[in-house]
Structure 1
Amino acid sequence: MKNVARLSIASLALAGSLGASAATFDPRETFAPFTYPQQATAYRSGSGMPGPLFWQNRADYELAATLDPVKNTMVGKATIHYTNNSPDALDVLWLQMDQNRYTPDARGNFTSGRTPKQHTDGYRVATVTLEQGGKTVKASYVVADTRMQVRLPEPVAARGGKVSLTIEYSYDLPGDFGGRTGFAPSKNGNIYEMAQWYPRMCVYDDLRGWDTAPFLNSEFYLEYGDFDYAITVPANMIVAGSGELVNPDDVLTATQRERLAKARESDATVMIRTPAEVTDPASRPSKTGTLTWKFRMKNSRDVAFGASTAYVWDAARINLPEGKKALAMSVYPVESVGNDSWGRSTEYLKASVEHFSTKWYPYPYPVAVNEAGSAASGMEYPGIVFDPMKAPAKPLHMVTAHEIGHTWFPMIVGTDERRNAWMDEGFNTFIDVYEADAFHHGEFAPKRDSEYSPKGGNPVDEILPLLADPDAPNLLIGADMVKEKYRHPATYFKAALGLVLLREQIIGPERFDPAFRKYIATWAYRHPSPSDFFRLMESEAGEDLSWFWRGWYANNWQLDMAITKVEGAVVTIENRDQLVMPATLRVTFDDKSTLDIRVPVETWQQHKSFDLTVPGARKIVAATIDPDHVIPDRDRSNNSWPAAAAPAAGKAH
C-alpha cells in the first residue's frame, strides 16, 4: 500500500437518496448459477486446491548493487537462475523493469492522477547475457515501457529446464517523487528507501502464460525463490534489508553485535544504535571508504532495503508458534524519537507479527523491519516495510500493522496485485481489524473508526454510498482500471468488509477461521486466483456462497430488507433489492420479553415476501429486522414495525 490521503466512504457522491423507491428483487438473478472467473482444471481443482498437475516456475537471484549517495545513482548486477516447471517450452523470458515507470513517456503517466512530479531516464542497461546448456552468450532483448523481453537462442525445456540471465545496469534514483521508492532528507542525512531496484522476473502461469501487465500504478506479481544480495554503501551508512544480515562482523561494531544478541532474547525493546550515537563516528566499524552489507532471504518473491547515515536502530524478539523466534527491528531518524512517535515502533511491529502468526499463519522470515522515511511512506516488501517518519503513535501503529500484514497478503499468499488488488489490500485490511482489537487491550481500537470513518460511524453504513454510486467499480475489475477516488473505498474497505460479513454474519468464526487458515496454508508461496479463493472457502466452510460472490464481488448490489406488516403471530418480511443477507428478526412481546429468529438467505430463493410465524401465544408489540445494525441495509426506515419501535443502532464488529 502506498500511504496516500484516505478518502472517507461518506465523501462519495450519492447517486440518489438511499431511501428512494426500491429496485425490484429477482431471486432468479441473485441465485442463478455463478460463473467463476477462472475455470477449474487439472492445475486448479473445483475445491479451490491446487490440482494434480499444478506447477509453478521459480526465480533465484544473486544481486549486487552500489548506492552512490553523492550522485544519487544505483549501479547493479543481477543474475537470475530461472527454472521452467511449466509443461511448455519457453522461447522468451519477460522481466519487470519498474524503474522505467519514472520516464517521461511511461504509460503510467497517462493512467491516473498519481503521476511523478519529476522524471528519470529509467534503467540504463549495460549488458544482458545468458548461460544455457553450458554456453554463455550475449542476449537479444527489447525493452517496452516497464517490461523487457529476452529472446532465447534455444527454448528453455518444459518441466525442469533451467537458464541463467545476467543483467548489468544503472539508474538515477527517483527522489521523494518515487512513490514506492526514492530518497528524502532528514536532520542527519538522506534516507534511501530502495525498492524495485533490480530487474525482476515476470510470472509465467497456467492462467495466461506470461503475465506482462505493465507497471502503471498498481503493485506486483512475482515468482518465488531464494535471494543472496550485497549492497555497497559509504561506511558511515546503516543498511536495513529484507532477510538476514549474513556478515555482521564486517559492517557492525562489537557493541552493536552484542546488543543484537541481547535483543534476540528480549521481549522489551533494546537499543542497537542510540540517538546520541548517530553522529558518533565510533558507531561505525570504519570511518572512510565503503562497506558491503550481505543479506540472504529464502523463499521470497522480492527484497528491498533502506540505507542512511541517520538511523537510530532498536530491536526485540518476536515469539512465534511452536517456540520459534524472529527479530523485530526499527530504524528511524532522531526526529522520530519518543514514545509519541517511533519509540514504540518495534513494540507495534512485534505485536502485529505475533498476532497474525498466532491467528492465521506463522511469520516465515528471520527478521521484520520497520523503516522510517518519507519518500515511500506506507509501502510493503517481504521482511521490510517503509512507514512515515512523522507519524504519531496511533497512525504509526495502524500503518505498521497494515504494512507488515502484507507479509501474509501478498508476500506469503502470492496474489496478482496488478489484476486483483482486493485480494491483497482487502484481505490485509480485514486482518488489521482484529489486530487492532488485540493490541494492548484495544489501545488504538477500533481500527475501522480511524481507517474507514473519521467520525466513528458504523462501517455497514459507511459502505452505502459506494454501493449506491453507479460509477463505482466492482471488485473483480482490474486494479489499474479503478479510479483513484474509488481505490481505497472499494479495494480496501469494501473487500475487507466483505470478509467481515462472511466471518461474522454469513458463516460464523467457528467455520470461517479454519477455512481462511486453510486458504492461506494451501496457497502459501503460490499464486491463487479469485476463483481459487471462492471455491476453497465454499468447500471448507460448507456453504454455497455464489449469491455473495455475485452480489458483493462481481456487482455492487444493494440490500434493503423490510417489515411490511404484523398480523397476530405472523410477521411479513420483504427483500426489496438485489443483494441478500442472512439477518436476525427480533420480536418484542407485551410482557417486554424478546425473541430472536434467524432468517437465512435461503428464505429468498423462492420469495420476495415471506410470512414468518412466531411461535407461542404472546402478543407481538414490536418487530425489527437487523436490530443490532450489522448488515449494510440501505434503508433502515422500513426495518421496524411500528416505525417508532426501532431500537438504537448497535455497532457492527
Structure 2
Amino acid sequence: MNRLIKAALGLCLVGLAMQSSIAQEVSETNQKKFGEFRDRSGNFYRAASGKPGEGYWQNAADYVIEATLDDEAHTLTGTISISYTNNSPEALDFVWILLEQNRFTESSRGTLTTPIQGNRYNGDTDGGYELTNIFAKVGKKGATSSEHIISDTRMQVWFAEPLSARGGTATVSMDFTYKIPTDGMDRMGKLKVEDGYIYAMAQWYPKVAVFDDVEGWNIEPYLGAGEFYLEYGDFDYKITVPYDHIVVGSGELMNPKEVLSAEVYNRYQKAMNSDETVYLVGPDEIKNTELTRPKQDGTVTWHFKIQNTRDVAFSSSDAFIWDAAKINLPSGKTILAQSVYPKESDGQEAWTRSTEYSKASIEHYSEMWYEFPYATATNVAADIGGMEYPGLNFCSYRSKGAGLWGVTDHEFGHNWFPMIVGTNERRYAWMDEGFNTFINHYSSNAFNNGEYPSTLNQTRRYLNWFTNERREGIDTYPDVSNLSNLGMIAYNKPAMGLLMLREYILGHERFDHAFKSYINTWAFKHPTPDDFFNIMENVAGENLSWFWQGWFYGTGNIDLGISTVAPYAGNYVVVLQNEGEIPMPVLLEITFDDGSMESQMVPVEIWQRGNVWNHMIKTDKRVTKVVIDPDKILPDVNLGNDSWPTKIYED
C-alpha cells in the first residue's frame, strides 16, 4: 500500500471519528458524570475545605472499669463508671449506652436477622448482660436517676435534669455480668486449647453511643457485618484473673512488678530495648508458674491505662507463650510489640514471627502516614479470623506464613482507620476496611524486601466481579449487603479507588499531601465521606466529583479503548473511546519505529461532552504501538481494546 493511499485512509478514519465525536458533544449522560452529585458547600460544623468547621464539636467519654474473669463459670463480672462530657450546642435529657453482649441472645435483632444456614457473624444465643445498680447523675451534686430503657443492644439512660450544653458533665455507672460466648461473631469469645482457655475479650463493657452533628444519636443496633462508632476518651481498667493467667490489653500495663515474676519482669525490660524478639514466657515455660508468676494461688489484678482512644480490648489465658520486642517510632520514642499464643501456634513458619510482623507493620505506618499513639501493639492468637481494637488484634491461631503476615498487618493497619481517624464503621465500612486495605498494599510490599507482596494492584484479577450482575455499590449499608459482595465493596474496591488516585490520577506527591492532611486533620475526630472528599480535592487541587460519583456511588465500570491510530497532517491521531460508565484520564504509552517510547496523559475532561476523542501525537517518527494504562492500574473491564497493534500498515 503506497503512502498516498495510507494517508487518505488515515484522513478517512479520523474524519469518521471526528464526526462521531461532534455528534456526541451534547450528551446529557456525560454532563451528569461530571455534575455535582453532592452538596460541597460546607457548614458551621464542617468546612467546605474538608476540615472541621469553626463550630465543630464532639462529645467525650472517660471510663473506669474493674472486672473479674471466672475461668470455671466462663463469666465476666464488673463495675463501670463513665464520665461523659456534652460538648454539643444542645442540652441532653438522656444518653444512649451500647450493650453489645445483648447480641448473644435468642431474641436479639442480630440473631433474628441471621440466615438459618448461618454466616460468618454467627453468635451464641445463651448470653447477654445482667445489669444492676444503674445510675446517672448530672455534675457532682446533681440529682441521681435510675430510669432506663433497654432495647436490644441499646440502653437509654435518663437524667434527672438536662445535661447542659458546651461542657456539661455527667456520670453513668452500673454493675454488669454475662456469660462469655464461645462463638462471638468472629470478633470475641473463648477457645479451648491443650493447656487451657484463651479468652478474647471485646465488646465486653457497656459503652456510650456517639452523639454528633450529622445524625444526632447514632443508635444502629449491633447486628453482624456493621462494626463500631465510638467516642474518644481515657480508659483506666483493671482485670482480675486466676493467678496463673497472663493478661494483655489495650494501652500500658501499669503494674508489671505486681503481676510478673522477677524473671519475667527482667525479660520484659529487656524486650523494651531489643529489636530482636525476646521470650517473656517460652514454649517450655507455659505451665512453669513458679518461674513465671509472682504468686501460686488466688487471683491477680492487671491494671491498664490508655488515653484518647475509642475502645479497649484484652485477652487472658493460662496457655500463653509470650514474646515481645521494641518498636522504633519516627519521633525517637520506643514502644512495645508483643504477641501471645498457645503452643498449637508455635513455630517459625507461624506465630513465632508474629512480633516481627507486628513491629514491621507499626513502624511502616508510623513512618509513612502518622505516628502510632499508644504504648503497646499486641497480637493475640485466638479462634477469630482477624479483628482489631486500639493497640490489640485478635488473629487466627491457625494462621501461618503469608496468611499470618496479611492478617497481622491488616489488623494493625486498622489503628489508623478507624482508631486514629474515627469514622463510623457501622455506616461506612469502606472508610474503615477500604482505606486500611489500601495502606496494607504498601506495607506488604515494603516488608522484608517484598517477602509477601501485595496483589491489590493486579486489579484485573477481579473483572468477573465487576461484570457480575449481582454486584453492589461501595455505599451499600454493610448490614444489608450480600456477604458475597462485602469483601469487594468494603475492602478491595475502595482500596483500588485510592490506588488509582495515587498511582494513576494524582501521582504520589499530590496524593500523599492530601491523604496525610486528611489523617492529621481528622485524627481522633469523626469525619464523614464528604469531609474526606473535600479535603482530598482541596489539598490535591483537583475536582474529583466525577471519580467519587462513578467509583464510590454506583456499580458502573471503566472501559477505555483505542478504536484506531492513523497518520494525519504529518503526525498521528489516536481515536479514543470511553465505552464504560466511569470517565478516566487516559495514560498512553507510545512506541516508535526506532524503539523509543513516550508517555502522554490525556486529561479526564475529554469525556465531558462525548465518548469519542481524537488525540494528536505530534511526532516525525513512525508510531508502531499505542497502549492505554501500560501498568494496568485500572480495572478496565475490556481487555481487548486498550492497545493498538504493533503493526497495522504494510510498507
TM-score, reference length from structure 2:
0.91
Q: Which of residues 419, 443, 447 is equivalent to 1:439?
A: 447
Q: Counterparts in 2 of 1:188-587, with a 5 A limit?
A: 188-217=195-224, 218-282=226-290, 283-374=292-383, 376-445=384-453, 447-448=454-455, 459-568=458-567, 569-587=572-590
Bigger CA radius of gyration: 2
Deviation at 1:635, TM superposition (A): 1.1
Q: Counterparts in 2 of 1:2-21, with a 5 A limit?
A: none
Output one character per residue of 1:260-316: Cα deviation in whole Å (capped at 9) or x when no partner.
111111101111111121111211111111111110011111111000000111111
Output one character per residue of 1:363-417: Cα deviation in whole Å (capped at 9) or x when no partner.
000111111111x331110111011111112111111110011100011000000
Give yes or no for contact 2:385–2:395 (8 Å, CA) kept in 1.
Answer: yes
SS at match of 1:502: helix
Give yes or no for contact 1:311–1:332 (8 Å, CA) kept in 2.
Answer: yes
Deviation at 1:119, TM superposition (A): 1.1
Output one character per residue of 1:14-59: Cα deviation in whole Å (capped at 9) or x when no partner.
xxxxxxxxx99932121112314x8621100000000001001000
**How far apart, in 2, do the equivalents of 1:479 and 1:410 lie?**
16
Moved more, 178-187 or 380-389: 178-187
Q: Which amino acid aligns with 1:306?
A: S
Give yes or no for contact 1:463–1:494 (8 Å, CA) kept in 2.
Answer: no
Deviation at 1:482, TM superposition (A): 1.5
Label 1:266 to 1:551 Cα distance change in 2 as closer, same or farther (>3 A).
same
Q: Which amino acid aligns with 1:147?
A: R
Q: Which amino acid aligns with 1:197?
A: W
Deviation at 1:137, TM superposition (A): 2.5
> 2:148: which partner in 1?
141
**How far apart, in 2, do the equivalents of 1:488 and 1:383 lie?**
24
**1:602 and 2:605 aligned:** yes
Give yes or no for contact 2:134–2:174 (8 Å, CA) kept in 1.
Answer: yes
**How far apart, in 2, do the equivalents of 1:147 and 1:596 lie?**
57
Q: Which of residues 143, 157, 161 is equivalent to 1:154?
A: 161
**How far apart, in 2, do the equivalents of 1:373 and 1:322 lie?**
33
SS at match of 2:494: helix
- The runs of at least 4 aligned residues of structure 1 exceeding 6 Å deviation read none
Output one character per residue of 1:191-216: Cα deviation in whole Å (capped at 9) or x when no partner.
00001110010000000111101111
**How far apart, in 2, do the equivalents of 1:66 and 1:171 lie?**
11
**How far apart, in 1, do the equivalents of 2:412 and 2:521 lie?**
21
Q: Which of residues 42, 45, 56 is equivalent to 2:44?
A: 42
Moved more, 269-278 or 38-47: 38-47
Give yes or no for contact 2:61–2:82 (8 Å, CA) kept in 1.
Answer: yes
SS at match of 1:511: helix
**How far apart, in 2, do the equivalents of 1:183 and 1:556 lie?**
40
Q: Which of residues 66, 69, 73 is equivalent to 1:67?
A: 69
> 1:94: which partner in 2?
96
SS at match of 1:481: coil
Q: CA RMSD of the aligned region, Å? A: 1.7
Q: Which amino acid aligns with 2:349?
A: D
Output one character per residue of 1:594-615: Cα deviation in whole Å (capped at 9) or x when no partner.
3322111112123321111211
SS at match of 1:307: strand
Label 1:125 to 1:69 Cα distance change in 2 as closer, same or farther (>3 A).
same
Give yes or no for contact 2:625–2:647 (8 Å, CA) kept in 1.
Answer: no
Give yes or no for contact 1:228–1:295 (8 Å, CA) kept in 2.
Answer: yes
Deviation at 1:479, TM superposition (A): 2.0
Give yes or no for contact 2:145–2:160 (8 Å, CA) kept in 1.
Answer: no
Give yes or no for contact 1:92–1:152 (8 Å, CA) kept in 2.
Answer: yes
**How far apart, in 1, do the equivalents of 2:646 and 2:553 lie?**
34
Moved more, 271-280 or 625-634: 625-634
Deviation at 1:575, TM superposition (A): 1.1
> 1:122: which partner in 2?
128
> 2:188: which partner in 1?
181
Give yes or no for contact 1:109–1:115 (8 Å, CA) kept in 2.
Answer: no
**1:589 and 2:592 aligned:** yes
Give yes or no for contact 2:74–2:180 (8 Å, CA) kept in 1.
Answer: yes
**How far apart, in 2, do the equivalents of 1:227 and 1:462 lie?**
44
**1:27 and 2:30 aligned:** yes
SS at match of 2:90: coil
Gaps of 5+ in 1: 1-22, 453-457, 646-653
Moved more, 61-70 or 109-118: 109-118
**How far apart, in 2, do the equivalents of 1:530 and 1:67 lie?**
40
Q: Which amino acid aligns with 2:167?
A: G
SS at match of 1:565: strand
Moved more, 458-467 or 171-180: 458-467
**How far apart, in 1, do the equivalents of 2:126 and 2:647 lie?**
64
Gaps of 5+ in 2: 1-23
SS at match of 1:322: coil
Deviation at 1:570, TM superposition (A): 1.6
Give yes or no for contact 1:25–1:608 (8 Å, CA) kept in 2.
Answer: no
Q: Which amino acid aligns with 2:614?
A: D
Q: Which amino acid aligns with 1:476?
A: D
Give yes or no for contact 1:131–1:163 (8 Å, CA) kept in 2.
Answer: yes
**How far apart, in 1, do the equivalents of 2:385 and 2:546 lie?**
38
Deviation at 1:480, TM superposition (A): 1.4
Label 1:121 to 1:259 Cα distance change in 2 as closer, same or farther (>3 A).
closer
TM-score, reference length from structure 1:
0.91
**How far apart, in 2, do the equivalents of 1:468 and 1:250 lie?**
60
Q: Which amino acid aligns with 1:318?
A: I
**How far apart, in 2, do the equivalents of 1:640 and 1:243 lie?**
54
> 1:648: which partner in 2?
none
Give yes or no for contact 2:124–2:183 (8 Å, CA) kept in 1.
Answer: no
Label 1:114 to 1:372 Cα distance change in 2 as closer, same or farther (>3 A).
closer
Deviation at 1:178, TM superposition (A): 4.2
Output one character per residue of 1:125-165: Cα deviation in whole Å (capped at 9) or x when no partner.
11201232414624100111100001111110000000000
SS at match of 1:29: helix
SS at match of 1:636: coil
Give yes or no for contact 2:458–2:632 (8 Å, CA) kept in 1.
Answer: no
Instruction: Give percent identity, aligned residues only.
Output: 45
**How far apart, in 1, do the equivalents of 2:34 and 2:313 lie?**
46
Give yes or no for contact 2:561–2:643 (8 Å, CA) kept in 1.
Answer: yes
SS at match of 2:193: coil
**How far apart, in 1, do the equivalents of 2:101 and 2:541 lie?**
46
**1:170 and 2:172 aligned:** no
**How far apart, in 2, do the equivalents of 1:28 and 1:258 lie?**
68
Q: Which amino acid aligns with 1:156?
A: L
Give yes or no for contact 2:62–2:82 (8 Å, CA) kept in 1.
Answer: yes
Label 1:106 to 1:643 Cα distance change in 2 as closer, same or farther (>3 A).
farther
SS at match of 1:268: coil
Moved more, 218-227 or 567-576: 567-576
